[in-house]
Amino acid sequence: MTQNYAAHINEKTKKIQTVKEHSDNTAELCYSFSIPSLQDVVYVMGIFHDIGKFQLSFQKRIFGRNIRVEHSACGAIVAKEQFPNAVGLMMEYCIAGHHSGLPDAGSFQYDTPDMTTLYGRLKRSFEDYSVYKKELSIPAINQQAVMKFFLKDCERDMSLFVDKFAFLTRYCFSCLVDADSLDTAKFCGESIGRQMHADFAACLKKVDHKLNSFVCTTKLQCSRALLQQQVFKKTDQKAEIYLMNMPTGSGKTLASIKFALERAIKEGKKRIIYIIPFNSIIDQTAEEFEKLFQESADILRHQSTFSYENEDEERRDEDYAEVAKKAAENWDAPLIITTMVQFFQSIYDNKRRKLRKIHNMADSILVFDEVHLMPINYLQPCLRGIAFITKYLNSEAIFLTATMPDFSGLIKQYALENSKILSLVKDTSSFANFQKCQYRYVGEISEESVLERTFASPSNLIIVNSRKRARRLFKKCSGRKYHLSTYMRACDRIETINTIKKELCCLEMDFPGYENVPEERRITIISTSLIEAGVDLDVYTVFRELNGLDSILQAGGRCNREGKRQKAEVILFELEENSYLMDERINMVKGLLKKYPDISCPQCIQEYYKRLFAMKDKEIQKNMITEKCHNIASIPFKTYAENFELIESQSISIVVAKDKKSKELVENLRYAGAGLARRLQPYTCSVYEQELNDLIQQHVVEDFDTGIYCLINLDYYKEDIGLVFEADDYILE
């Protein structure tokens, strides 16, 4: 009598899914997910991954015995026996880690069975599982063809080969764990429900209708239309990476989504992924797309500060939130908006929860908004990840920014030398028409002098380099004033920005031409750099504390945004109490201010980035995985993932529960634990570790043993400035 070796038991129906059934299903799904060059490899991974479940001890466990049985390493051992080469090694990494995550390789010579490295696991002893030879059918693999694919483009570069192998291993791991998860969920009765949808053709019609509704009467409007036409004329030209260099106010967002839709339709791509640098500006883009596309597209938002549980109950239909939550697990959606951090962590993590998404980055159009904000210390892995996705996974990328570095040269130097790159905007002669303000450097001045200079303008935006300085200026400022920083809760920042927009709109309506604006109606906004990217404000004068050229030009995009005035100024200054650390970018900008009458011209921007990246060459290359290993047999997947942090100064979130909804969530936190973290994000503000320690010592925060810190003394939070570090009674004037 043949024994039914069980892989899963449905708790409701008590039906058994055999190891053979689950292995075959997983292999078929892996094959369907994969690019052609790796289909046979991932198919065999699917067959091998649960071989360890043929152990009799595992069968006892699944039928009720309370024993712990390891099974993942068994399939890796079989892969090593049957494929003693790079193909087998890739399988070993993926199969051994398909539950716990891709492991560090470790040392084959020195690692012992008690260690969690790949070689430690391969040395462990297991019960007999050889029955797999009778139960499972293992197809042949054209290993020569796979090896040829591994070596393509990097025959003479061992570092590139190791990096490519590591990337493809994560990709295959993605196919395996997503297939494993989906087949298990299906057998166990989890409802798949409807899928998220998008009709790209219908979306494109709506974008075209929007663009055609714009009237071209002014010189600026005509320049905008001509610049966009440069982009649209190249939708038939095939490349791997497209560079869309367009100045602020030229309609970059609409132009980029039109180009992405055109390319997706022409090439039959499965999805468009819109990648944005900061959580703080996703809301604006998502709202713009949702309003534009309406019923033509479901938009999946995947960011740390957004939870579908917080969505309005009057959403499109009752199951929408559940559908979106499931889609966020593996990015099985046609239109996705996410952050740069989420995107790159989904490439360079080692855990199955993160890596499930990589295979759904294939056959996609990737749009990188404000691409110049890629962190310099991770520039090489970021560029190389994009180059691999576009070169090997049949995707295309669009780099979008108003301050474009020489990405063509950077990609060839740090990523792939033969990437196919196309610049969509060759003629930059019209860029001068988008110059809506002049940049004037006034040198070192006091905080009081900055505030005095605002008296001459009806609306002002002051941007400084630190949160504490922003707060100090805000306290000194008089009149109608607003403050923005990450000391404020995310939801309060959004509310404040919306209030500012309304105030600015009313000011313009009540005082045409901004004539005779009374002092009590003058508006002053004091902010950190969070306002520079993607926040559509239009103020009369901007004051910017000296910083990198990209930050300065982004600040300028908030001044005279619609170009309605002939003369508008961005005042650049340094503060006399120079408490921030002077870095090379500021000194560089000082030199450029002397050299160029207009620092926003393309030549100045090119020189800035050329000098910056030349100076940062070592920093750019320091975080490659190949800095930690020298061959494919020693890749430290786990350690690299743990150290991969795109945001250098890690901040810690503190929940501030001031309204009914957030108070209920915090109350439930005591019982539900960290599972509520995503839903609490809109009610958090950010602090550094030392600042958190100060609040802990004052006994005003508590984590309820969940690791999520909550402010328990609301005297330490002010609506206008956010978190404070001393209660009112203790502030000394």
β-pairing, 652-655 vs 709-711, is parallel
Cα-based distances in Å from 401 to 251, 288, 442, 553, 593 = 11, 18, 28, 11, 22
Q: In the structure, what pLDDT confidence band is assigned to residue 429 with cuts at 50, 70 and 90? A: confident
Three-state secondary structure readout of 379-434:
HHHHHHHHHHHHHHCCCEEEEEECCCCCHHHHHHHHCCCCCCEEECCCCCHHHHHH
What is the tens place of the pLDDT at every residue in 172-192? 999 999 999 999 999 988 766
Q: What is the mean pLDDT of residues 326-340?
A: 89
Across 29-43, 334-348, 501-515, 661-675, which has the greatest mean pLDDT?
29-43
Q: How confident is the model at residue 578 (pLDDT cuts 50, 70, 90)?
A: low
Q: What is the pLDDT of residues 226-281, one digit of tens each?
A: 999 999 999 999 999 999 999 888 889 999 999 999 999 999 999 999 999 877 67
Domain positions in the chain are: 6-187, 200-307+315-428, 436-599, 652-730
- Note the pLDDT of residue 729: 52
For a pLDDT cut of 90, what percent of the chain falls above it? 70
pLDDT at residue 730 in the model: 46
Residue 66 has pLDDT above 60, yes or no: yes
Residue 263: beta bridge partners? none
Cβ distance 385 to 355 under 8 Å? Answer: no
- Above 50 in pLDDT, residue 85? yes
Query: Which one has a higher pLDDT value, 582 or 212?
Result: 212
Instruction: Give every CB contact of residue 118 below 8 A, 6+ residues apart in sequence.
Output: 76, 92, 93, 96, 97, 103, 104, 105, 106
Distance CA 365, CA 244 (A): 14
| Structural fold of domain 6-187 | Hypothetical protein af1432 (1.10.3210)
pTM of the model: 0.90
Given this model, what pLDDT does residue 316 score? 45
Q: What is the pLDDT of residue 157?
A: 92
Instruction: Supply the pLDDT for residue 55.
Output: 96
Residue 167's pLDDT band (cuts 50, 70, 90): very high
pLDDT score, position 710: 92
Average pLDDT over residues 125-131: 95
Q: Which helix (H) or strand (E) holds 526?
A: strand 523-527
Query: Is pLDDT of 495 > 60?
Result: yes
Q: Cα(463)–Cα(544) distance, rounded to whole angstroms?
A: 5
Amino acid 194: pLDDT: 66
Residue pair 644/624 in contact (Cβ under 8 Å)? The answer is no
Distance CA 672, CA 661 (A): 15
Q: In Å, what is the CA distance from 276 to each residue of 286, 387, 434?
A: 11, 18, 23
Q: What is the pLDDT of residue 313?
A: 42
Average pLDDT over residues 677-681: 76
What count of other Cβ atoms lies within 10 Å of the Cβ of residue 296?
Answer: 17
Give the CA radius of gyration of the chain. Answer: 28
Give yes or no for residue 648 having a pLDDT over 60.
no
Between 618 and 2, the higher pLDDT residue: 618
Mean pLDDT over residues 417-435, rounded?
92
Compute CA distances 673 → 171, 241, 490, 678, whole Å: 32, 43, 21, 12
pLDDT of residue 219: 81
Tokens matching residue 379:
């520039």
- Report the pLDDT value the prediction gives residue 679, as an integer from 0 to 100: 79
Give the class (CATH, top level) of 200-307+315-428.
Answer: alpha beta
Mean pLDDT is lowest, of 413-422, 558-567, 599-608, 633-642, for 558-567
| pLDDT confidence tier of residue 532, bands split at 50, 70 and 90 | confident
Q: Check pLDDT > 60 for residue 307.
A: no
Q: What is the pLDDT of residue 582?
A: 59
Query: Does the domain made of 436-599 have the CATH classification 3.90.209.20?
Result: no
Q: Is the pLDDT of residue 723 over 50?
A: yes
Average pLDDT, the chain: 90
- Confidence band, pLDDT 50/70/90 cuts, at residue 561: confident
In the prediction, which pLDDT does 319 show? 59
- Output the six-digit token pair for 324: 């979106």
Q: Which of 259-268, 457-466, 663-672 has the lowest mean pLDDT?
A: 663-672
**For residue range 4-15, what is the model confidence (pLDDT) as tens digits?**
899 999 988 899
DSSP characters over 603-672: HHHHHHHHHHHHHTHHHHHTT-GGGS-SSGGG-BHHHHHHH--SSSS--EEEE---SHHHHHHHHHHHHH
Fold agreement between 200-307+315-428 and 436-599: yes
Model confidence at 315, pLDDT cuts 50, 70, 90, reads very low
pLDDT for 1:
35
Which pLDDT belongs to residue 309?
Answer: 52
Q: Quick count: other Cβ atoms within 10 Å of Cβ 50?
A: 27
Lowest-pLDDT choice from 119-128, 280-289, 687-696: 280-289
The DSSP code sequence of 4-25 is --EEEE-TTT--EEEHHHHHHH
The pLDDT of residue 393 is above 90: yes
